[in-house]
Amino acid sequence: MSADQSTALTPYPKVPARGRPDAPGSREWIAAEKVHGAHFAVVCEPGGAVRAAKRRELLGDEGLDGFFGVSRIWPRLAVAAARLAEVVRDSAGGWGGATVTVYGELAGGRYPHPEVPAEDGVDPVQTGVWYAPGLHWLPFDATVDTAGGRWWISDRALRAATAAAGLTGVPLLGRGPLTTLQQLPVAYPSRVPALLGLPDLPDNHAEGYVLKPAGEWRETGAAGAAARPLLKVKQRAFAEDDRYDGARPYLVPPRGAAGVPGWLLARACALLTPARAAAAVSKLGPRTPLDAVAAEIAADAAAELADALGGLDTGAEAALRRALGPGARSLAAFDAEDRGRH
């Protein structure tokens, strides 16, 4: 899970707030909610490795803790992103050996509703718009790098892959001609909480929305040539209201945001592979409950890493198994789904 020279990040292009986007031949556009969070991308290599990234650079293993404590959700997020990339590669011929980069927004950390309990140890990623008490990663775009060029996948393909990976994408506000979507109201309640099953909050207005072509888009030529058009429409209050004054510094707990150091968690997450899930099922039997399979996956990954490191004390290994639990359960569920198809 660490950054190395074999992995490269192509930063997401700057989204202009003015101008008229031009996309000849693109008749269908989409408008999606602009989530007020922190840009977080995952680079998924064809061999199964996944790398975390902020806006301009890859994150080292230690950076998972410092980036708003994203290590709390990294095991499940890493497994889900790998699954999303697998679905994208399978959705079109010729993409089997491609690197898939999924761009998303890390959001949440507070939800001031009397019926929604807070999550201990979690701070809000951004202020002013509230999405959930815990951290969530909401994909909004993805690219596929092939020998023939770089492709932006269609919005429909991204949403299908996101759902297949058990993730929630940014809310879709509409599809249609650009001129129609540009008439959408700029001020509206955020739709993210409802997607996450949370009750409404009063005056919980979204930041705005982003407009882009709905279909696939191939970038060709030199840098900037044939770039896909984008436009953001942002409500004025975000520039004028101090409620939306941005992120707070995140203080990493001594034992790491997930209860173990970020570097240790990242190395363990690299061991959460489909092959490990298949081995767990082979050992326990195909009718073993998911939770038992997940526990075996987490225990096996933690034990292998402990052995590679020359041993971990009992408490550290137990904490690592707990931290890996959500990712191991997602992996077990994907394995069961795949076996059900065959």
The tens digit of pLDDT for each residue in 291-309 reads: 999 999 999 999 999 999 9
The structure tokens listed for 312 are 């971990």
Residue ranges per domain, the chain? 29-244, 272-341
The amino acid present at 156, given as its one-letter code, is: R
Mean pLDDT of 39-66: 93
DSSP 27: -
SS3 of 100, please? strand
Alpha carbon dihedral 266, 268, 272, 277, in 10-degree steps, equals -170
Render pLDDT for 98-132 as a digit per residue (tens, 0 to 9): 999 999 999 999 999 999 999 998 999 998 899 99
**d(Cα 176, Cα 95) in Å, to the nearest integer?**
28
Give tens-digit pLDDT for 316-326.
Answer: 999 999 999 99
H-type alpha helices, the chain = 63-66, 74-90, 155-164, 178-181, 192-195, 237-240, 262-269, 274-284, 290-308, 314-341
pLDDT of residue 208: 94
**pLDDT confidence bin for 4, thresholds 50/70/90:** very low
Condensed to tens digits (0 to 9), the pLDDT of residues 6-23 reads 578 999 998 887 666 665
Q: What is the mean pLDDT of residues 212-223?
A: 80
Give the per-residue pLDDT at 96.
Answer: 82
Share of the chain above pLDDT 70, in %: 89
CATH code: domain 29-244 is 3.30.470.30
Rounded Cα distance between 14 and 2, Å, is 26
Question: Does residue 154 surpass a pLDDT of 80?
Answer: yes
> pTM to 2 decimals?
0.92
Contacts with 220 (C-beta within 8 Å, 6 or more apart), sequence order: 149, 226
Per-residue pLDDT band at 235 (split at 50, 70, 90) = confident
pLDDT at residue number 135: 97
CB 156 within 8 A of CB 91: no
Give backbone dihedrals phi and psi of 216, rounded to 5 degrees, phi first: -60, 155
Of 167, 161, 165, 196, residue with least CA distance to 331: 165
pLDDT averaged over the chain? Answer: 90
Q: Please compute Rg for the chain using Cα positions.
A: 20
CA neighbours within 13 Å on the CB side: how many for 147?
4
